[in-house]
Amino acid sequence: MPAEDRPQITLITPPVVDLAQFPDQLARVMDAVEVACLRLTLASRDEDLIARAADACRLVAHARDVAIVIEQHVLMVERLGLDGVHLTDGAKSVRKVRKDLGADAIVGAFCGVTRHEGMNAGEAGADYVAFGPLGASALGDGGQVDHDLFQWWSDVIEVPVIAEGALTADLVAKFGPVTDFFGVGPEIWGQDDPARALQALLAPLG
């Protein structure tokens, strides 16, 4: 696939990170594969822990000119020096968050498998829309995004789109021509060598 057509990568952190090890692991992955954006998706509700993780990940990302967004925690974006927020409730809060964070912040929206929700998010001011899962997953209601949604989106809609969820090398090959980004995280962090696992997953892109 020509470099200009190759999807970019949004790297998604694990829900739980060991701050003694993860920043170095993250740096190795980012040095092995070009990443466009890092998404901080921590399960913790501990504000201090989230702040320390965000600081550590921001240093790694910004040293490599990679933007970093945080899932859901809108109020932490400016305080922690992050580039934006990834919303998980579709289009519902995009307009308000865009107003709160301003035009320069990244505001992205995960819209599940719903084309209509994605269109609404784009119209409300989202910088990107994410759909997923692509592969079989026990998460949510088990629904999967079909290839036709991405084909239609790439033909009709200008808002960048992220394909994510239960990715395999075969799915990367199939969806590569019709997506702007792949969101990758759970697929690699449990492997012995996450950097090598990411390279293998993206191998079909050439």
Question: Average of pLDDT values for 133-154?
Answer: 90
Contact 147, 155 (CB under 8 A): no
Question: Average of pLDDT values for 59-74?
Answer: 98
CATH number at residue 79: 3.20.20.70
Q: How many domains does the chain have?
A: 1
Question: Average of pLDDT values for 136-161?
Answer: 91
Per-residue pLDDT tens over the stretch 182-204: 999 999 999 999 999 999 999 99
Looking at residue 133, what is its pLDDT? 97
Distance CA 48, CA 123 (A): 35
Q: Is the pLDDT of residue 4 over 90?
A: no
Q: Is the pLDDT of residue 3 over 70?
A: no
Per-residue pLDDT tens over the stretch 69-102: 999 999 999 999 999 999 999 999 999 999 999 9
**Residue 113 sits in which domain range?**
3-205
Looking at residue 141, what is its pLDDT? 76
Distance CA 180, CA 161 (A): 5
N-terminal to C-terminal alpha carbon distance within the chain: 6
Q: How much is the mean pLDDT over the chain?
A: 96
Question: Average of pLDDT values for 23-43?
Answer: 98
Contacts of 109 (CB under 8 A, 6+ apart): 86, 87, 89, 90, 91, 94, 118, 121, 126, 128, 129, 130
Q: Beta-strand (E) ranges in the chain?
A: 8-12, 37-40, 67-71, 84-87, 106-110, 128-131, 161-164, 181-184
Looking at residue 138, what is its pLDDT? 74
Amino acid at 33: V
